[in-house]
Amino acid sequence: MRSVEEQQARVAAAAVASRPVRVAIAESQGLMCAEEVVTERPMPGFDQAAIDGYAVRSVDVLALGDGDDGGEISLPVMGSIEAGARTPSRLQPRQAARVQTGAPMPTLADAVLPLRWTDGGQNRVRVMRGVRSGAYVRRTGDDVQPGDVAVRAGTIIGAAQVGLLAAVGRDRVLVHPRPRLSVMCVGGELVDVSRTPGTGQVYDVNSYALAAAGRDAGAEVNRVGIISTDPRELRETVEGQVNRNEIVVIAGAVGGAAAESVRTVLAELGEMEVTRIAMHPGSVQGFGQLGRDRVPVFLLPANPVSALVVFEVMVRPLIRLSLGKRQPMRRVVQARTLSPISSVAGRTGYLRGQLMRDQDTGEYLVQALGGAPGASNHLLATLAEANCLVVIPGDVEEVRTGETVDVAFLAQRG
């Protein structure tokens, strides 16, 4: 039986970042930048007011000091300058100009008086407090100078990076795209959710659940759904998906006679291994690389809970690596258990739980939803209630109430 870490290393070795593509910046969020974005212009491109107020020469009001000493100065207002104004203006000595936030500063003005330090006059303004040169002014190039790197290659583009790309005038950027993931299922008992199951039939849960898990991980997902196990049709379907995707997942292909025939067909397309991994649920699983491009292909159990756990432990990290994430694994914290947990000897347990935090101490607490003595590990309803996976080492069979365990965060709900 192979350890979880050994299998994860085999999977990680197959990670390949997709060839960079140029996309609109609105579509780049969450992707890894594949170029050094060098700015060509300063930002801001002109001296501008940082707040609403009056543009002045600081020397004309400095006599008041930068504190409220009770004195006043009165200046004529030459006019109003709005944000976006394109006509140059010039301030004369002992004049002021009303300015909006973002408005270009008039020539000779070197500071902005906040409105609260004035009487707000239209034609003439009384000044109750002075300002120093440069106060409340954004100078040309304060944010970025020509030649500066706005976004570096290898950076994961977030909201700030999108904003910076827009600010430097870039409408498109080179990125590593989301890996394309194909999800399909095999099983004579399966029917799509649009149909009513007959005797012995069940809904296809896996293709929907695993497709959603793939999107959550950051992949571009193609949910193929239920596929035929006829050898010729199966080969055509899988070969087609391997040729147009970077990762392929097939659920229901590791147990029973139907799964055996599936593996026989897949062996014709490349290397495929089905083995036991020292984990539960989902110990029996398959992994290989098929087609001319050696595309990673996963064979997952038919049970939806087992399939989702294997996806979380094996497939999700590969997607994250393909996206360029430096840390592909979920965040892990230590939490104190609120109930006993049982696990399978010799296998790492990935058991559902609800993670919470003590408001007084800040300590993490976890309530097991699966893994209690005598409980089933295959209830999909409890997985839907979980916000974490409790990770139990292979050498631990029983965890008592109050003991500390490792807990991996799942996607946030709500």
Predicted confidence at residue 161, as pLDDT, reads 94
Across 66-97, b (16+ Cβ under 10 Å) vs e yields eeeeeeebebebbeebeeeeeeebebeeebbb
**Do the beta carbons of residue 257 and residue 217 sit within 8 Å?**
no
Mean pLDDT by 10 residues, the chain (414 residues): 94 85 92 89 87 93 63 87 89 93 93 93 91 92 83 90 90 92 90 86 91 93 91 92 94 78 88 93 94 93 92 95 84 92 92 90 88 51 79 93 93 50
> pTM above the 0.85 mark?
no
Q: Hey, which residues does 184 pair with through a beta bridge?
A: 225, 250
Place of tokens 């690389």: 289
> What is the secondary structure of 293-333 as a DSSP string?
TTEEEEEE-SSHHHHHHHIIIIIHHHHHHHTT-S--SPPEE
Indicate the SS3 state at residue 233.
Answer: helix
In this prediction, residue 70 carries a pLDDT of 52
Position 190 scores a pLDDT of 84
* Residue 50 amino acid letter: A
Cα separation, 305 vs 377, whole angstroms:
8
Distance CA 367, CA 121 (A): 64
- Give the pair of three-digit tokens for residue 161: 């990076």
pLDDT of residue 281: 92
> Cβ of 301: how many Cβ atoms within 10 Å?
25
**Closest to 80 (Cα-Cα) out of 120, 47, 132:** 120
Helices (H) and strands (E) in the chain, counts: 9, 28
Task: Give 81-119 as a 3 state SS string.
Answer: ECCCCCCCCECCCCCEEEECCCCECCECCCEEEEHHHEC
The predicted pLDDT at position 413 comes to 45
